[in-house]
Amino acid sequence: MDPSITNAAVLKIFLRGSKRFFLAALFFSLTSILFELLLPQIVRFTVDAVLSGKYSDLPDTLPLLGNVQKLAEFTARHLWLAGVAVLLTGLGTACCRFAFEVFNAMGAETLIRTMRDNLFRHLQNLPFAWHTKHQTGDIIQRCTADVMMVKNFLSDQLTSFFRTIAFISLALFFMFQMNATLAVIAAMMIPVIVLYSFSFHKLIGSRFFQCDVNEGILSTIVQENLTGVRVIRAFGRESFELEKFRKQNEVFTGLWMKLGKVLSVFWMCGDLLAILQILTIIMVGIFLAEQDKLTSGEFIAFVSYNVMLEFPVRHLGRMLSEMSKAGISMQRIREIMAAQVEQDPPNALMPPMNRDIAFNHVSFAYPGCDPLIRDVSFRIKKGTFFGILGSIGAGKSTLVHLLCRLYDLEPDNGTITVGGVNIRDISLDYLHRNISIVMQEPFLFSRTLKENIAITRDEIDMEDVREAARTACLEESIETFADGFDTVVGERGVTLSGGQKQRTAIARMIVQHAPIMIFDDSLSAVDAETDAMIRAAIREKLRGTTVILISHRIATLMEADSIIVLSRGQIAESGTHAELMKSNGIYRKNYEMQMNRSAAAAEVQP
């Protein structure tokens, strides 16, 4: 994680394009405050100067309005002017509020679009190893709920914070102008609310963090169950999964209830303080008015200001609690943005990829685990079929993952070269475009068969799609579908069989025309005859392509030009099928066991 990426730096990136809208919204918000605070002054002027004729407590002149006494006498003769002033003040407030809402909404939507774009772009460029460490549900939680929390804080809470500070400052200014005693009483409550809000800030933040993390766990359970519904149904694990979800949901609900109790106490204290403040202002105001130290107009204006202050002051305390929530969400988002993306070295190379591949003293261990690959060296000649055999956990898939740079080798753990060029010096995008891989459990998108096959190329003719499907022995299956190539395969290809999914992924790889193709046990779900047909078609139609075959099935590997046998992370045997059969090693034992099993299965066939 990059320590230089702070919350402020991430916010600076997110606010690009929306900052001007928020500034405009803030301007109109502050302008609306001036109109709102003018209203009690108009009432005060009307009651004291116009109706009662008391000018001594007012300045001799008012800006832009001239002499107070002449203005009051003129207004007394035309009392409707006071109503017009109130109407204009309300109209100005409404217009400014409208402009504020428009610009604030534009800023909020621009902000959330920028946040989503940046997060998705960053996630797309994070190493495969990073994704294996983080649960999908938690990532989704950060990109949805946490993004909304930050967006709501910046568009609602932060703009309200500046508005509230300005409102409180101006209101107190007017209140001190009228009566310092009452103003001090009103002002005394503000630091009390702020201090107790800070005392709740840390507690609310820690409780919200626990809620956020557990919501991610809950989302992961839901995501896994929805994508693995066939497995759950097949093994009758509905009750187990339901109980697992219920327990996590109970934990999640309990955490929110605890947070709700803290927030209830927090808001109750705010309400109690606000009520005490209003009651104190009214009681002291009445006392001062009886002693002629406060005019009727001033009392009305003062009570109006105090009522107007009630919500902003209480809202200020609530904003501090919301700030703790937004801070947690921002921290979780920052963890994504601060994660190191895959980067090419300076002057990254793009050498020809139809060259020999060499593994030189390669060793590799997953974080926190013992070494899985230990000092492995071998060469794959260009344009040949290369087979890899090994038991589960022997490191077969890890070898090709290292070749694709899904995981990176440490500098002192050997090298992998293509045509003598270290793959660490090759542009990563170029490397991925020139090495195709099909996994044992390929991932298909919830799109049509055509779209899934053509996804590796920006522009492709339908004939190329058909040819790839034909090479992968898929075309005959597609013809049985009512919509043919326009058949939607469903999420993760759920509507297809295992063999159909593998062949669709193989067709997708073929249309890429990469010079290096990897079959990571990706023919396991097809029968031996189809397996042989696919390999024969690839040999014929993709001459010069380097093909790496990983399989447990000897029949898949026996025609390979060269084969290595992995055992406990090391090469136990290597050679052609004929050479390996001559030795009484792992390869021959597997061959005899599989052939005997096939013969036994053939005997029991009716």
- pLDDT at 359 (0 to 100): 94
Mean pLDDT, range 211-231, rounded to an integer: 76
Element spanning 566, H or E: strand 562-567
The percent of residues in the chain predicted with pLDDT above 90, rounded, is 16
User: Are 503 and 477 spatial neighbours (Cβ–Cβ below 8 Å)?
Assistant: yes
- pLDDT at 64 (0 to 100): 44
For residue 221, is pLDDT > 60?
Answer: yes
For residue 568, is pLDDT > 70?
Answer: yes
Q: How far apart are CA 453 and CA 434, in angstroms?
A: 17
For residue 59, is pLDDT > 60?
Answer: no
- pLDDT at 170 (0 to 100): 81
For residue 449, is pLDDT > 80?
Answer: yes
Q: Which value, to the nearest 10 degrees, does the dihedral of the CA atoms of residues 331, 334, 335, 337 take?
A: 170
372-392: per-residue pLDDT in tens? Answer: 999 999 999 999 999 999 888
Sign of CA dihedral 224, 432, 390, 594: positive
Sign of CA dihedral 583, 585, 589, 591: negative
User: Are 22 and 103 spatial neighbours (Cβ–Cβ below 8 Å)?
Assistant: yes
505-560: per-residue pLDDT in tens? Answer: 888 888 888 899 998 888 777 777 888 888 888 888 888 899 999 988 888 888 89
Eight-state DSSP code of residue 455: G
> Rg for the chain (alpha carbons), in Å?
36
For residue 494, is pLDDT > 70?
Answer: no
Among 484, 473, 404, CA closest to 437: 404
Retrieve residue 452's tokens. Answer: 């899934």
- Does this model's pTM top 0.85? My answer is no
Confidence of residue 598 (pLDDT cuts 50, 70, 90): low
146-200: per-residue pLDDT in tens? Answer: 888 888 888 877 777 787 788 778 878 877 877 788 788 777 777 777 677 666 6
- pLDDT at 493 (0 to 100): 63
Q: How far apart are CA 361 and CA 11, in angstroms?
A: 45
> In this predicted model, which residue has the larger pLDDT, 308 or 394?
394
User: Of the ranges 224-233, 282-291, 356-365, 494-503, which one carries the lowest mean pLDDT score?
Assistant: 224-233
User: What amino acid is encoded at 65 in this protein?
Assistant: L
For residue 61, is pLDDT > 50?
Answer: no
HSE-CB for 525 with a 13 A CA cutoff: 19
Categorise residue 64: left if φ over 0, alpha if ψ from -120 to 50, beta otherwise.
Answer: left
Listed in sequence order, the residues at least 6 apart from 347 whose beta carbon sits closer than 8 Å to its beta carbon are none
Mean pLDDT, range 459-469, rounded to an integer: 87
Neighbours of 81 (CB within 10 A): 15
Retrieve residue 86's tokens. Answer: 């109130």
Retrieve residue 526's tokens. Answer: 């097809």
Q: How far apart are CA 595 and CA 354, in angstroms?
A: 35
296-305: per-residue pLDDT in tens? Answer: 777 777 777 7
Retrieve residue 434's tokens. Answer: 């020139």
Confidence of residue 360 (pLDDT cuts 50, 70, 90): very high
- pLDDT at 51 (0 to 100): 62
Mean pLDDT, range 449-459, rounded to an integer: 85
Domain 7-337 superfamily per CATH: ABC transporter type 1, transmembrane domain (1.20.1560.10)
User: What amino acid is encoded at 606 in this protein?
Assistant: P
User: Are 362 and 416 spatial neighbours (Cβ–Cβ below 8 Å)?
Assistant: yes
User: What amino acid is encoded at 100 in this protein?
Assistant: F
> In this predicted model, which residue has the larger pLDDT, 286 or 414?
414
Sequence ranges of the chain with CATH classification 3.40.50.300: 357-439+514-603
Element spanning 558, H or E: none
Pick the CATH number of 357-439+514-603 from 3.40.50.300, 3.40.50.620, 3.40.50.2300, 2.102.10.10: 3.40.50.300
For residue 605, is pLDDT > 80?
Answer: no
Q: How far apart are CA 176 and CA 154, in angstroms?
A: 32
- pLDDT at 471 (0 to 100): 87
DSSP 425-436: GB-HHHHHHHEE
Neighbours of 510 (CB within 10 A): 28
For residue 593, is pLDDT > 60?
Answer: yes
Among 437, 477, 469, CA closest to 450: 469
Confidence of residue 427 (pLDDT cuts 50, 70, 90): very high
- pLDDT at 382 (0 to 100): 93
Sequence ranges of the chain with CATH classification 1.20.1560.10: 7-337
> In this predicted model, which residue has the larger pLDDT, 491 or 240?
240
Q: How far apart are CA 332 and CA 7, in angstroms?
A: 10
User: Of the ranges 249-253, 322-326, 542-546, which one carries the lowest mean pLDDT score?
Assistant: 322-326
409-426: per-residue pLDDT in tens? Answer: 888 899 999 999 999 999
DSSP alpha helix (H) spans, 78-179: 80-124, 128-133, 136-141, 147-152, 159-178
* Range among 47-51, 320-324, 332-336, 519-523 rated most confident: 332-336
Mean pLDDT, range 210-224, rounded to an integer: 79
Q: How far is CA 572 from the centre of its chain?
A: 44
Sign of CA dihedral 374, 377, 379, 385: negative
> Which runs of E-coded beta strand occur in 365-489?
373-380, 385-390, 415-418, 421-422, 435-438
DSSP 339-374: SPPP-PPTT-B---SSS-EEEEEEEE--TTS--SEE
Eight-state DSSP code of residue 146: I
Q: Is 77 helix (H, G, I), strand (E, B) or coil?
A: helix
